[in-house]
Structure 1
Amino acid sequence: MRLLTALLLLLPTAAAPAAQRAAPPTDTLAPDSEARWIPFDLTPGNQIRFTVTLDGQPIAAILDTGVSYTALSRAYVTTHKLKVRSGGSASAIGGLVPIGWIDPGTIRFGGLTRRGGSISVASLPATATGSTPVDMLVGRDLTAAYALDIDYAARRFRLLPSGRLPFTGVTAPLAVSPTRLVYSGEVTLNGRRLRPMIVDTGDGNAVTVSHEAWATTRLVPAALTSTISFGLGGAIVSDLAIVDTLQTGALTAANVEVQIEGKGGFSHRLGMAGRIGSGFLQQYRVLLDPSAGRMVLQTGEQAGQMPLRSTSGLLVTAERNRLRVLHVMRGSPAAERGWKAGETICRVDDVAVPTAYAGSAYAGWSIGAPGRSVALDLCDGARRTLTLRTFY
């Protein structure tokens, strides 16, 4: 089970005029854009990371349809001594974050070239970008006018003219929220339609719903646990369940991991029912075309498979040669043994934690077979044994 991140960055309406102080941008989509696939890799947090050219300089970016206006990192701005004008704050998962505005010259990726206009500036902490810092979040403002074809299986995407349909699949409604300026769709749970749902490629989770929206479904899952996610504004703890079926448009998906926010949580405060994230979308080839009013999903090999589940209940992050516990899942073996957030692990089954931990086979101990006993040596010298089991 991955420790997931969610990069939603919604700008309040008062901030929008600040984005227009520069001359309006000019976008050009190359005639051969269909052939200009953009390779990407998935971060440890399930996000699409690729390379953008900013004023002739290649930089690392994440494709994020849950960001209202493309955001450049403050670290990049500081390093390159760029001039930033103040811009108030924006709503992000975990809380409000201060933002600024900058007027870049040219942004290029794939077949798209943007000249002029403004983008936002925000701190992009590594905890919110899959443990690897990036320089930019490419948001709705750069992509919504086009059809965004994401081939997760081949790790590539491209921008096409709106209205193009390069593959066949099941269709679901998609638009740009007129108030939040992000991609917006819907899901149906237990016969209850939940909308608007932010369609958020920057959210590594599968599906997240507000406490209030979840209550309307009257679903009683077999088990509930807890989990933690990290956004630009900090950490958020949610309930976690696996639902048998979920619909979006004409698609019925099986075995979907759903996070349920706390009462009065982030989605509810924004007037949204929740989010559809990359953890769900990556099971399909996806076409996002809000101008044409549709999301198209072509089933991939992973669709319908049971999600990877923690059998330990320890959600950890790697810090050089140790693991730090970020969250202990409710009802888990770790919770029963009294584990606490903040504790550190230096050895697992007598093997030191490697520097290259994320994505390695070594990391599989936390989702190991039920009944297996794992010896965990804490960095303070104590040893604990944890017997793995299925708990949600």
Structure 2
Amino acid sequence: MPVVAVPFDAYGGAIYVPAVIKGDSVWLMLDTGLSRTGLDRDWARTVGIEPVPASSTAVVDTIRLGELTLANHRVALYPLHGLSEASGRLEVGLVGHDVLQHYAVEIDYRQRRVRLFDAARYHYRGAGTTVRFTADADLPLLRAQVKVRGRRAIPARLLLDTGASGLCLILTTSFAEQHGLGTVAPAIQAPIGTGLVGELHGTIVRLQEVRLGGLTVPSPTTGLGGEYKGFLSRTDIDGVIGNSVFEGTRLIVDYVGRRAIVEPRPVDGSPCDFDMSGLRLAARGPGLAHIMVDYVVPHSPSAEAGIAVGDELLLIDGRGVAAGDLSDARKALRADGEVRQLVLRREADTIRVALKLRRLL
């Protein structure tokens, strides 16, 4: 029997689990790639959680995750405003390795449920594909191979990061440089994600495949680090593998057994896709109510239509995006061959665009 069984919200491709902190009901992102559980420092202050003197941590009386209660738990205080703007949702906090390491964590992407089992007593019986952790890592660092068309497979240490959504993989800058991945084409110069240190820049490509033990993921969308910033500068890992790879499966992260198990194997075809408009959108302003154009991919449908950074997206096919959410807007812009009718605001002007979507990779 699980110690904890809770539903999760898959907003934006991430995993949000319900929690109660100091009597407030909140959603926390489940993040297997994060060392320490943390809260947004501004939100923490509003509920009376003060930092320990001369530190960026705090002690929280109680954090409840379903049936599990964490008492007097030390958390990091993170600046999560940038993540909130990137996701379009107020990011209150994240559940990290310091909590998850005591359990076998089962994530059922189809049923949208997370279950935590006592790791010492957990026994897996099934036909899932097993991928072992590397021997020298506490976090779930998986042995993998990445394959570029026309080249031999390259061994890679990929951090299983359920806090990463969107691209299938993001590879560190040193790994990309060492293996000459900058020559992979076609490629898009664009932001490749947003982390605790802010926006991360690089190049987006499709590799031929990534192999995790007996599991093969074809045509993964992949961010190649283009700067030494945040985890892109790390040398103890070669990259991260995110939620998109496991969508539609049941994923078990067994910390004591030092393995990840995936069942069933993903169906044929790439499980993760990429935007087909050329727009990178972010939520800004009070309540994150304004959906703004943050970046336009050169030579994309949006660039050809004259959409510019700083434009505010008001409507997609007559539906107000501010009344919905950023996740829905992004989904609407991933439909190959469809024509979307966009209405945008540029200063005092209203702009109407018929945008024909197409694959950029």
CA RMSD of aligned residues (A): 3.0
1:181-209 CA distance string (max 9 Å, x none) = 643223211211112x2211111132110
Residues 205-214 or 143-152, more deviating: 205-214
Quote the offset at 1:309 in angstroms.
3.3
Residue 207 of structure 2 aligns with which residue?
Answer: 243
Counterpart residue identity of residue 355, structure 1: A
Among 9, 14, 27, the residue aligned to 1:60: 27
Counterpart residue identity of residue 124, structure 2: L
Judge conservation of contact 1:140–1:183 (CA < 8 Å) in 2: no
Structure 1 position 47 matched with structure 2 position 14: yes
Residue 242 of structure 2 aligns with which residue?
Answer: 277
Structure 1 position 119 matched with structure 2 position 63: no
Residue 228 of structure 2 aligns with which residue?
Answer: 264
Distance 2:136 2:32 in 1: 11
Residue 136 of structure 1 aligns with which residue?
Answer: 93
Counting aligned pairs with the same residue, the percent is 22
Residue 45 of structure 2 aligns with which residue?
Answer: 78
Q: Which stretches in structure 1 are left out of the alignment for 5+ residues? A: 1-31, 89-99
Distance 1:363 1:129 in 2: 12
Distance 1:278 1:167 in 2: 22
Give the alignment's TM-score, normalised by structure 1: 0.76
Residues 327-336 or 238-247, more deviating: 327-336
Counterpart residue identity of residue 311, structure 2: E
Quote the offset at 1:210 in angstroms.
1.6
Structure 1 position 108 matched with structure 2 position 64: yes
How has the CA–CA distance of structure 1 residues 64 and 328 changed in structure 2, closer, same or farther, with 3 Å as cutoff?
same
Residue 344 of structure 1 aligns with which residue?
Answer: 312
Among 211, 220, 225, the residue aligned to 2:173: 211
Counterpart residue identity of residue 275, structure 1: V
How has the CA–CA distance of structure 1 residues 377 and 68 changed in structure 2, closer, same or farther, with 3 Å as cutoff?
closer
Quote the offset at 1:142 in angstroms.
0.4
Counterpart residue identity of residue 103, structure 1: V
How has the CA–CA distance of structure 1 residues 256 and 56 changed in structure 2, closer, same or farther, with 3 Å as cutoff?
same
Residue 187 of structure 2 aligns with which residue?
Answer: 224
Counterpart residue identity of residue 106, structure 2: D
How has the CA–CA distance of structure 1 residues 216 and 167 changed in structure 2, closer, same or farther, with 3 Å as cutoff?
farther
How has the CA–CA distance of structure 1 residues 358 and 267 changed in structure 2, closer, same or farther, with 3 Å as cutoff?
closer
SS, match of residue 334 in structure 1: helix
Q: Which stretches in structure 2 are left out of the alignment for 5+ residues? A: 148-152
Judge conservation of contact 2:37–2:97 (CA < 8 Å) in 1: yes
Q: How many residues align?
A: 344
Among 208, 213, 217, the residue aligned to 1:253: 217
Judge conservation of contact 2:274–2:334 (CA < 8 Å) in 1: yes
Distance 1:267 1:71 in 2: 17
Judge conservation of contact 2:31–2:94 (CA < 8 Å) in 1: yes
Distance 1:134 1:238 in 2: 24
Judge conservation of contact 1:287–1:296 (CA < 8 Å) in 2: yes
Quote the offset at 1:60 in angstroms.
2.0
Residue 299 of structure 1 aligns with which residue?
Answer: 264
Distance 1:372 1:240 in 2: 24
Quote the offset at 1:87 in angstroms.
5.4
Give the alignment's TM-score, normalised by structure 2: 0.82
Residue 161 of structure 2 aligns with which residue?
Answer: 200
